[in-house]
């Protein structure tokens, strides 16, 4: 009879200690302030304002719980620096994810030179449950940098773009209504996975080396610069207006219902070297009376009649312009020298902590995945220039790691064993 009583006593004491560690936050922050793991979780119960001249530092391993309809307003600056092993968690005070639970983080421009200030940095953070997670509408002190973050279950990830630019790098953006939106003052989204949103991208400036998949409405709805992206399993892969200096090259658009909808097209764009394959209804649908041209692309066929049958244009509706697809590539392998996936060169190996890893290959069809011996995925920052992939793995310890290079055209992979010392 005494044993159950002892268990109950331990449970009550644990609850008491956990509650004691909680830090309640509200009101103004007027000087440099550090939120540390030993005082976590931090529960924000009403609006918080970081005033001009003050910095809020959120340290690795901290959990921030935000009450309903609360806003975090940044007039000074915020630095949230987690690590791969100890991420910062910022979420709504709710047991279930909710896209509009708390208002979000709003940046306010105050004193100082426009475009300078580095007002917001977020690294290794998982942030969820906001209405507008980052509001940059009147943000003047960028650049604003969001790296290695998971941004999920928000109504929209951001509003507008701050002066100095907004930069998303190596993030997973998922289960939002809208993922990436337009950047008023420039910015980019690189090396990100954008999936399971209603709209993956709505008006982003530059989308580079991203995977855009499984969004319920459209993968990318307008972007000025789309390069080296894999866009798949969306009702519409890309919907775009090819005006100004649009750049749309080196992308793989496959297994969508419609690959690309062209709402407007004027000559003079860089729109070649794309892959359009296995899109269910059409690879391209034109909705404009202007002619459009997508030369030097691969269509997974050399039969011109078949290629034409997967394009909806003036041949289907005389009110529309025509889409030119000539000349086209005979092969979807963008590697011109015939190099196989087994011949890619990976160096250095062994690799030192913090060192860059290089993959030499003219094949631009590779996606890379890295795992430790426990099967845990390692975040990779991937760049491609002059036939060399540069990989920056987020590794926290020495040991053996497995790097998979996956050719998404040939659907073959090759695995390298990487020793880190």
CB atoms within 10 A of CB 16: 9
Distance CA 220, CA 329 (A): 25
Distance CA 123, CA 107 (A): 17
Distance CA 416, CA 352 (A): 16
For residue 412, what pLDDT is reported? 59
Distance CA 354, CA 53 (A): 33
Contact by Cβ (8 Å): 277, 251: no
Q: Give the length of the chain.
A: 421
In which residue ranges of the chain is pLDDT below 70? 1-20, 110-117, 161-163, 184-185, 333-344, 362-365, 374-375, 386, 407-414
Distance CA 349, CA 342 (A): 16
Contact by Cβ (8 Å): 321, 286: yes
CB atoms within 10 A of CB 179: 32
Nearest to 360 by CA among 349, 344, 373: 344
C-alpha distances out from residue 2 to 6, 288, 374, Å? 6, 80, 41
This prediction's pTM: 0.77
Provide the Cα torsion 296, 300, 303, 306; round to 10°: -110
For residue 399, what pLDDT is reported? 80
- The residue ranges of DSSP E strands in 30-177, in sequence order, are 33-35, 42-50, 55-59, 63-66, 71-74, 77-81, 88-92, 104-108, 120-123, 125-128, 132-138, 144-147, 150-152, 156-159, 166-169, 172-174
For residue 13, what pLDDT is reported? 31
Nearest to 207 by CA among 186, 184, 230, 223: 223
How do 211-213 and 193-195 pair as beta strands?
parallel
Q: Taking CA 326 as the corner, what is the angle to CA 322 and CA 329, rounded to the nearest 5 degrees?
A: 140
DSSP single-letter state for residue 3: H
For residue 418, what pLDDT is reported? 79
**pLDDT tens track for 16-51:** 334 447 899 999 999 999 999 999 999 999 999 999
For residue 407, what pLDDT is reported? 67
Nearest to 126 by CA among 106, 104, 145, 149: 149
Unique residue bearing structure tokens 């690294």 = 123
Cα of 152 vs its chain's centroid, Å: 11
Contact by Cβ (8 Å): 361, 115: no
For residue 15, what pLDDT is reported? 33
For residue 403, what pLDDT is reported? 81
Distance CA 274, CA 225 (A): 13
Collect all residues with Cβ–Cβ distance below 8 Å to 186 and sequence separation of at least 6: 161, 165, 205
For residue 188, what pLDDT is reported? 87
For residue 327, what pLDDT is reported? 93
Reported as type and span, the H/E element at residue 19 is: helix 2-21
């Amino acid at each position: 009879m005494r044993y159950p009583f002892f268990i109950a006593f331990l449970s009550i004491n644990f609850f008491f200690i956990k509650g004691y560690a909680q830090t309640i936050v509200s009101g103004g922050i007027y000087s440099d302030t550090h939120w540390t793991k030993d005082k976590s979780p931090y529960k924000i119960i009403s609006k918080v304002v970081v005033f001009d001249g003050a910095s809020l530092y959120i340290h690795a391993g901290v959990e921030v719980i935000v009450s309903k309809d609360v806003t975090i307003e940044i007039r000074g600056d915020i630095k949230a620096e987690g690590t791969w092993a100890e991420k910062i968690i910022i979420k709504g005070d709710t047991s279930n994810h909710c896209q509009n639970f708390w208002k979000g983080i709003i940046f306010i421009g105050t004193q100082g030179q426009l475009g300078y200030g580095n007002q917001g940095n977020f690294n290794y953070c998982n942030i969820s449950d906001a209405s507008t997670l980052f509001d940059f509408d009147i943000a003047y002190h960028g650049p604003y940098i969001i790296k290695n973050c998971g941004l999920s279950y928000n109504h929209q990830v951001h509003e507008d773009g701050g002066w100095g630019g907004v930069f998303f790098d190596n993030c997973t953006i998922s289960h939002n209504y809208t993922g990436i939106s337009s950047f008023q003052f420039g910015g980019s989204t690189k090396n990100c996975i954008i999936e399971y949103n209603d709209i993956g991208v709505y008006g982003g400036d530059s989308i580079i080396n991203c995977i855009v998949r499984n969004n319920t409405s459209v993968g990318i709805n307008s972007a000025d610069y789309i390069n080296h992206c894999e866009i798949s399993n969306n009702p519409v892969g890309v919907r775009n207006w090819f005006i100004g200096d649009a750049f749309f090259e080196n992308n793989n658009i496959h297994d969508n219902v419609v690959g690309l909808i062209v709402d407007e097209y004027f000559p003079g764009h860089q729109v070649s070297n794309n892959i359009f394959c296995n899109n269910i209804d059409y690879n391209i649908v034109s909705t404009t009376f202007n002619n459009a041209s997508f030369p030097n692309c691969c269509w997974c066929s050399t039969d011109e009649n078949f290629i034409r049958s997967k394009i909806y244009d003036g041949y289907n509706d005389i009110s529309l312009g025509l889409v030119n697809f000539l000349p086209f590539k005979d092969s979807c392998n963008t590697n011109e020298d015939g190099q196989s996936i087994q011949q890619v060169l990976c160096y250095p190996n062994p690799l030192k902590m913090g060192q860059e890893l290089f993959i030499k290959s003219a094949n631009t069809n590779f996606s890379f995945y890295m795992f430790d011996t426990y099967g845990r995925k390692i975040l990779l920052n991937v760049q491609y220039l002059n036939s060399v992939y540069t990989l920056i793995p987020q590794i926290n310890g020495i040991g053996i790691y497995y790097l998979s290079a996956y050719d998404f055209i040939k659907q073959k992979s090759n695995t390298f064993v990487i020793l880190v010392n």
